[in-house]
Amino acid sequence: MAIKVSLKTLRGPLARKVREMSGEDPNMCFQCGLCAGSCPMTGEMEIYTRKVMHMLQLGQADAVLAQRMAYLCASCHTCQVRCPRGIDIPKVVEALRLITLRAGENFLAPEAIPKDRLKEMPQAAIVAGLRKFTG
């Protein structure tokens, strides 16, 4: 599969948007994979943080935004405290979520949560989930 890499893709609008929203530069990542190795939510992710950083570096806007992985992040910050480049990875992932959420596309419909679970769940979990998954 051929990937076109040029200054245009490296400095493209998605990379710029992510940098503005997160204050972090994905180009700082040197692909060590420590983040993905530390992530507690890899269970259902199609790809992990490391690859997402690489895709951002290569300007693969549509492919990155199509990933569900940003919505599987639990904001645990394990990757953030361990990244040897000091990249605030949760902020990068939040930026990816927000780009889609702000375009009006919610990831989770509140009605989709089973009513009996909603009744028993702590409010903190519901508030946090709706903050992360809806615009």
Residues in touch with another protein (CB under 8 A) = 20-23, 40-45, 71-72, 74-78, 80-81, 88, 90-91, 94-95, 98, 107-108, 113, 117, 120-129, 131-133
Closest approach of Cβ 117 to another protein, in Å?
Answer: 8
Both tokens of residue 54? 């690489």
DSSP 8-state secondary structure symbol assigned to residue 5: -
Are 28 and 35 in contact, with CB atoms under 8 Å apart?
no
Closest approach of Cβ 9 to another protein, in Å?
Answer: 24
Please, which residue, 50 or 94, has the CB nearer to another protein?
94
DSSP 8-state secondary structure symbol assigned to residue 76: -
Please, which residue, 62 or 120, has the CB nearer to another protein?
120
* Site of tokens 């394990």: 78
Closest approach of Cβ 124 to another protein, in Å?
Answer: 5
Helices (H), the chain: 7-10, 13-22, 34-38, 49-57, 61-65, 78-82, 89-101, 115-120, 123-133
Please, which residue, 58 or 89, has the CB nearer to another protein?
89
Closest approach of Cβ 108 to another protein, in Å?
Answer: 5
